[in-house]
Chains A and B, each alone.
Chain A
Amino acid sequence: MGLLGSFLGKDQQRDLASANQQANQYLDTGYNSAYGDYSTAISGYDPYVQSGTKSQTTWDDLMGLNGTGARDAAYGTLSTNPLFTGQLATSSNALARTLNAQGASGGGKAQLAGARVLAETGGNWLDRYAQGGQTGLSATGAKSNALMGRGELSSSYAGAKAGNAVNYGNALAANRNTGINNILGVAGLAVNAMKPTPTFGKVT
């Protein structure tokens, strides 16, 4: 624009707009990047949250906390799970061998021992489900923290954007009178130039 533009304040307005635009671009870039990172982190916790929730539900079901229907269904799932039945088979086969070797293969002792094997195997699985629930709880906490972080990020972003807008507005308002002030300043010089030179008190 040159001297006249600077004189009238247009260049300053353009500089302000450019600076404002650049500041917002930096903000947007940073915000989008950080938001994406948070979102990735949040979704990364999802499988653990879901798995933990299922584990906790299964534990509740097996314990009968959700009613006998849910309990029996959970037992059905357990009794068709190859991992559970494999462990139970191994334990009960070993028990059968021991009882037979001791000649104690019949009667109440065998039944008690069988019940113990069943309870221990089942108890181990209950512990696993409980552990899964704890893992899910930890993942839920971590996810909550990440969600809070993302929320704070959004809040800060909005605040920074608002601050930029206010500053930009203030700067524009301050610059609005630049041209007038400059014109008034020049006019003042001209007026002063036209004034007669005072002669009072002049030493001649």
Chain B
Amino acid sequence: MNFLPGWDVGAFMAGGGPAFPEIMGTPAKTEDGTVAGSHNANLPAGIVAGETLVLVCYQVGSPSPAPSGWTLIVASSVYRLAAYQKLATGSEGSSVAVAFQSGFTDCFTAIAFRVKGAIMFAGAASADPNATGPPDPPNLSPGWGTRKILWISCGYAARSASADVQIDGYPSGFTLAQTYAQTNGPSLIKQRLAIAGMNDEVSSKNPPAFSSTPTSGGPGFVAATLAIA
């Protein structure tokens, strides 16, 4: 029986046991200031079949639809910070269409990256909207026991066009794939999205907060923690 059409078992078992999944190449970011109901999220270059693609994005409205062929890992509820994953075929192209909940329009930020050797995914999102910052990724215990996990912290901040906000620091210890994307919507909110990763062989993780300026004000701050193994 061929139950392994794309999963990279070799990378998964590198070193004689489940290995740390590896972020490949450079994450692709999308900073689309156009106010619309759907946008295209840029995908990273050099996608290889059998890798997993992870997309972290802002999707106003809840529930918003998953991009075609992608599986939701986790999403916050209102100012929707969403993370999706997809088993790569290598023919994804350079972008994927992301739609908002019907009737909602806004500008768009997204970060997508490639992961090698990943077979399992879990996530947790903070409660939102949260007018008190900075974005603080919640504790996540995937139920996998102690193992080599790639942890991803995701932070999102938004304020009105007349009151700027910056995510100006990544969670301590999260040094992998540090990336941010930001837009200045013409009439709506300013968006700031950031991710950072770390490898840690533990059963759960409560990442430190991002730092932001300022640390309060609406619409709010949202954060998520992803576990990839």
Contact = CB atoms under 8 A, between A and B. Distances in A.
Interface stretch (A21-29, A41-49, A70-78, A152-160): A70-78
B7 A75 contact: yes
A34 interface: no
* Main secondary structure on A side of the interface with B: helix
A111 B9 contact: yes
Given A76-B70, A82-B122, A106 B16 contact: yes
A79 B9 contact: no
Interface string A34-77: 00000000000000000000000000001010001101110111
B174 interface: no
A73 B69 contact: yes
Contacts of B69: 69, 72-73, 76
Contacts of B15: 105-106, 110
A181 B149 CA distance: 103
A69 to B, nearest CB: 6
A71 B13 CA distance: 23
Interface residues of B, number: 35
Interface stretch (B29-37, B85-93, B125-133, B164-172): B85-93
A89 B147 contact: yes
A72 B3 contact: no
Given A76-B70, A89-B145, A123-B3, A111 B85 contact: no
B119 interface: yes
A79 B121 contact: yes
A7 to B, nearest CB: 79
A79 B229 CA distance: 10
Contact of B120 (A85, A95, A123): A85
Contacts of A68: 5, 89
Contacts of B70: 76
Interface of B: 1, 3-7, 9-10, 12-13, 15-18, 69-73, 85-87, 89, 118-122, 142-147, 229
